[in-house]
Amino acid sequence: MIFESHAHYDDKQFDFDRDELLSSMQSSGIGRIINVGSDYDACKSTMDLAHQYDFIYGAVGIHPSDIQDLNEEVYKWLKETASDPKTAAIGEIGLDYYWEKDSEVQSRQRFWFSRQMELAREVSLPVIIHSREAAEDTLKLMKGIHADQIPGVVHCYSYSPELAEEYVKMGYYIGIGGVVTFKNAKKLKETVKRIPLERILLETDCPYLSPEPNRGKRNSSLNLPYVAEEIAVLRGISQQEVIDAAYENALQLFTKVK
Ligand code: NI
């Protein structure tokens, strides 16, 4: 069975066939799914899905591009929701300087990233980190708050192999998705070869980032075998070994998942 560590089935792209698709997951080899919140509404829909399906767990947190949703009231809601038996992580949280160039907003992103990391520490949940074009600030902030004491995954990893090794040293997992199948993804392929298998998680970030040969189409967890196959080829092991290791890794990280 495959452990899907990062999906957005609350996305409107799934509105016309969500239930049909999710009902087919387990018979198609997808054993567990973490549905990840982005804005406040997505967090609420995430928990609805987690309560509707046994094999779906939720991550609640506000994405750096959605921090206009955050205030003390929403923060309090996140904290209360963290104790739900189906809440497996705080996420996705982090920094995104690709979509946000304004330095004042970037500074607010750092403030809320830090607050949500502290929330994860307080409620003893792992974090799902989103970091895009903010490599230096992400690492600096994480070191500053002793993030090595907070378990987590850097999702949709897009930086250098060297930096990945730095995150691994801090105890972090590295989320690998469809991008690894793209011909031009040289850095990511190198990263996959270099980091320990014990640190790799499989993820889609669906509906985005479909792997080859479905690049450009709507993504779903059903495409994860393509991602596992590419990792297997890069590491010279079998696809099943990748799938089994990534499943075990996810259970180690997301301790509330049964
Ligand atoms: Ni995502």
The pLDDT tens digits of the residues spanning 101-142 come to 999 999 999 999 999 999 999 999 999 999 999 999 999 999
Phi/psi at 205 (nearest 5 deg)?
A: 65, 25
pLDDT at position 194: 97
- What lies within 8 Å, CB to CB, of 7 at 6+ separation is 33, 34, 35, 36, 203, 204, 205, 206, 220, 221
Token code pair at residue 247: 């499943």
3 state DSSP class of 172: coil
Share of the chain above pLDDT 90, in %: 100
Residue position matching structure tokens 């469809």: 178
Dihedral sign for Cα atoms in the order 136, 176, 151, 75: positive
Contacts for 160 with CB less than 8 Å, ≥ 6 apart: 135, 187, 191
For residues 25 and 239, give the distance between their C-alpha atoms in angstroms, rounded to a whole number.
Answer: 19
122 Cβ neighbours under 8 A, 6+ residues apart: 79
DSSP state of 51: H
pLDDT the model gives residue 99: 92
128 Cα to the center of ligand 1, angstroms: 9
List of residues 6+ apart from 25 with CB closer than 8 A: 33, 55, 221, 222
Distance 35 CA to ligand 1 centre (A): 9
- How far is CA 224 from its chain centroid? 14
pLDDT tens-place values along the chain, 258 residues long = 999 999 999 999 999 999 999 999 999 999 999 999 999 999 999 999 999 999 999 999 999 999 999 999 999 999 999 999 999 999 999 999 999 999 999 999 999 999 999 999 999 999 999 999 999 999 999 999 999 999 999 999 999 999 999 999 999 999 999 999 999 999 999 999 999 999 999 999 999 999 999 999 999 999 999 999 999 999 999 999 999 999 999 999 999 999
Tell how far the Cα of 193 is from the centroid of ligand 1, in angstroms.
23
Give residue 145 CA to ligand 1 midpoint distance, Å.
Answer: 23
Which residues have a Cβ under 8 Å from the Cβ of 15 and sit 6 or more positions away?
A: none
Give me the pLDDT at residue 254, please: 98
**Quick one: pLDDT at residue 51?**
98
Say how many Å lie between the CA of residue 112 and the centre of ligand 1: 17
Distance 206 CA to ligand 1 centre (A): 7
How far is ligand 1, taken at its centre, from the CA of residue 208, in Å? 8
Domains of the chain: 2-253 (3.20.20.140)
Note whether 252 and 7 are within 8 A (CB): no
**Cα 32 to averaged position of ligand 1 atoms, centre (Å):** 16
Q: Residue 32: what pLDDT? A: 98
- Residue 6 Cα to ligand 1 midpoint, Å, equals 6
From edge to edge, which strands make up the β-sheet containing 56-60? 2-7, 30-36, 56-60, 87-96, 127-132, 152-154, 173-176, 200-202
Query: CA-to-CA distance for 161 and 29, rounded, in angstroms?
Result: 30
**94 CA distance to ligand 1 middle (Å):** 11
Residue 234 alpha carbon to ligand 1 centre in Å? 24
Q: What is the pLDDT of residue 186?
A: 97
pTM: 0.97
Relative orientation angle of helices 161-169 and 135-144, to the nearest 10 degrees: 10
Contact 139, 166 (CB under 8 A): yes
User: Ligand 1 center to residue 8 CA distance, Å?
Assistant: 7
